[in-house]
Structure formats: structure tokens, C-alpha cells
Amino acid sequence: MKEYLDLDHMEVVDEKDEHYIPHSCVVKPESTTTKLRVVFDASAKTTSGKSLNDVQAVGPVIQRDQFDLSLEFRGEDHVLSADIAKMYRQILVHDDDTWMQCIRYRFNKGEKIKTYRLKTVTYGEGASSFLACRALFQVGEEQKETNAEICNIIQKSFYVDNLLMGAETIEKLVDIRRKTEAALKQRGFPLRKWASNNKDVLSGIPKEDLESTVRIGERETVKTLGLNWAPENDTFIFKVEETHDARAVSMTKSRLASEVLRLYDPLGLMQPVIVAAKILLQQLWKLPVHWDDEIPTAVTMQCNAIKKELPRLQEIEFPRQAIPSKPHLLALHVFSDASTKA
């Protein structure tokens, strides 16, 4: 894991009676940048019976809701996305508190295990998300008097380290992109993984800082707040994870619940399909079936029928822009039904 540890912001210290954090790795093959991430278990109990997370103040949520930001992203003509490179690792923790972030590590089996202290905001700690978001918020505060627009973007167009913004014209979007990028870079928050529905918006950005695409069907897509966005034709596409043959694995109540939760749909576009699986789960709650019991054959057959059809979702595309730039073309239709089976 050597290349994934931030050697610039950790230092060797004498072995003392300090607080040590166990660490492990999380592998994300689908990530275009960090396929392996070191995660620290700050919830591990110490000899006192408490963990580091037990004594930390988590902090309030100061960013907008992901759903709100995703909806706003669907309302502009020209849009772009990006994220902050290694956001947590760009933020130093006060020196007095770094002694609570010690690890034991060696880079190969032939070395002696050493004690290091981590000097930056660390994954796995309860306060880390707030600390990172608050540092980002402060960059916006520093722009408030000189450029209120950039302040607003930094404080209201991020979800953790993910930036989504748009404008009515390409010229306007390029202008605010450059100003936002400069303000963040000055404070140690470099942006990368840029993507846009118009290539002119990305003019001047080095190729290595552009987002890598993932192919789904016939489209090249990028990940944007959990959504698969195809910038070239400006649509959202569903990616359905392949599941094992249901006949080879017994279907239990807990397994069915797990598979339903895997259908991630932050905008509700898949709900006509997902609701069918939720109805099956609802049926099980009415039966004397325990969490790890095999479900009735009839329900299993219905579940397999749904799973068989799921790959067809990848054939469906939704326009990214849901709200037209010309308001007079907009009409809102609302349907409501109290059907017991949706």
C-alpha cells in the first residue's frame, strides 16, 4: 500500500503510549483514479473501552443535499463536473491532535515495524467529513468580498469533494471554471477528473486531469454523484451489476434485501422497476420467514424474473437536462396514486 499512503504528511515518531489506529484497504476496481484506498478504523475500541470516534464531535452537515445538487445539475444548458484531488490529504490537522492518529507500519517484510503519526485529515474518523467540508467552505468565505459568485459556487456546488456546476453559455461556464479552479488551487485544493457536455468548456485543461470514461453499452460514461453520465450525448445511463446465477445460491430474506439495496437510484428514475422488488420484500414481511431463512419458491421465481430483466435497463437513456433553458417550454405534470401495490 506504499503508493497509497501519503508519505509527505506522515512522519516516523518514537514508539510511545499514544493512540494507534488499525488500518486496512478498500478496493474499488471501478474507480478511475484511486482503485485502492487505505481506511483507518477509528471505531476500534482501546483499553479504556472507548474508540477515537467515541470521543470525537462529528460536526454538522454544512453542504447541500446530494439530491438537490443533482436536480440543479439537470437544469443548465452547459455543465461540468470535477473533484478535488485527495481532498482529505490536503488538510493538515493541528499538531497537538496528530498524536491521536498513530499507526504501525512497514513497507516490506524485511523492515522493522515503525510508528508513524498521520498529520492530515484521515479516512475513517467521525469528524473527517466535517473538517474537510469546513475547510472547503472557508475557501469560499475568503472569496465572498472579492467574488460573491465564486464564493457561492464553492459553498453550494460541492458534495464533499465532487463539483457540479453549469451556466447558460459556454463563455460564462469557462470563466467561472477558471476562477473557481484558481481560488481552490491557491488554497491547496487542486481540481481533476474534469468532464463536460461541451468540449470547449474543458479548453486548456491537461489531458491527465480529464476524467476517464467507462463504457456502458455503446456509450462512454463518467461517474457523477453515483450517476452514470454520458457527456458526449448528455444522458444518464443505468449500469446494472451482474449477479450470480440465482439457482446456484440460495435466496434468503437478507439476500433479497441486499440485492434490492444495490439498485442505487438517487434521482428515482428506476423506481418503476425497483418498486417491484420492494413489493416482493414487503410480501416476505407478512410471512413467517426469518432473516436468514430461504424464501418461498414462488417469491424466488418472481425475484429471478425481475433479475433477468434488469440488464435491459442499460438500454434506457434519460436526458441529463430535465429543465429546458426556455421557461415557456416547461410544463409540470403530477400523478398520485394510493395503490397498495404501487
The pLDDT tens digits of the residues spanning 26-54 come to 887 766 666 777 889 999 998 889 999 99
pLDDT for 242 equals 63
255 CB burial (10 A radius; 0-12, 13-18, 19+): middle
| Structure-model confidence comparison of residues 113 and 245, the more confident one | 113
- Domain for residue 330, yes or no? no
Residue 65 has a pLDDT of: 94
Q: Are residues 253 and 181 in the same domain?
A: no
Query: Do 187 and 254 sit in the same domain of this protein?
Result: no
Same domain, 64 and 110: yes
Type of residue numbered 236? F
State the Cα–Cα distance between residues 38 and 20, nearest whole angstrom. Answer: 15
Share of the chain above pLDDT 70, in %: 93
- Same domain membership, residue 265 and residue 136: no
pLDDT band of 79, cuts 50, 70, 90:
very high
Cross-strand pairs, 79: 166
Q: How many CB atoms lie within 10 A of CB 136?
A: 24
Q: What is the pLDDT of residues 94-141, one digit of tens each?
A: 999 999 999 998 888 899 999 999 999 998 999 999 999 999 999 999
Question: Which of 45-49, 146-150, 247-251, 319-323 is modeled with the greatest confidence?
Answer: 146-150
Report the domain count for the chain. 2
Does 60 share its domain with 148? Answer: yes
How much is the pLDDT for 7? Answer: 65
Q: What is the pLDDT of residue 30?
A: 67
In the chain, the DSSP E strands lie at 10-13, 23-27, 36-40, 78-84, 102-105, 114-118, 158-159, 162-167, 191-196, 214-216, 219-224, 227-230, 235-237, 317-319
34 and 163 part of one domain:
yes
Residue 306 has pLDDT above 50, yes or no: yes
Domain boundary among 209, 232, 259: 209
Predicted pLDDT of residue 3: 44
- What's the pLDDT band for 1 if we cut at 50, 70, 90? very low
| Span of 75-84, 159-168, 197-206, 278-287 with lowest mean pLDDT | 278-287
Q: Are 137 and 75 members of one domain?
A: yes
Is 79 in the same domain as 142?
A: yes
Residues 137 and 267 in one domain: no
Q: Are residues 138 and 56 in the same domain?
A: yes
Residue 189 within any structural domain of the chain: yes
Whether the CB-CB separation of 162 and 153 falls below 8 Å is answered with no
Average pLDDT, the chain: 88
Q: Is residue 39 part of a domain?
A: yes
Query: Is residue 26 situated within a structural domain?
Result: yes
**Same domain for 205 and 256:** no
Task: Please report whether residue 335 resides in a domain.
Answer: no
Whether residue 236 lies inside any domain: the answer is no
Residue 224 lies in a domain: no
| pTM beyond 0.85, yes or no | yes
What residue numbers bound the domain in which 281 lies?
246-315
Q: Residue 325 falls within a domain, yes or no?
A: no
- Pairwise CA distance, residues 249 & 263, whole Å: 19
Q: Which of 162, 186, 209 is a domain's end point?
A: 209
- Decide which of 164, 186, 209 is a domain's last residue: 209
For the segment 131-154, the average pLDDT, to the nearest whole number, is 97
The reply to whether 201 and 251 lie within a common domain is no
Where does the chain have alpha helices with state H?
Answer: 66-73, 128-143, 148-156, 170-186, 253-261, 271-285, 297-309
Residue 246 has pLDDT above 80, yes or no: no
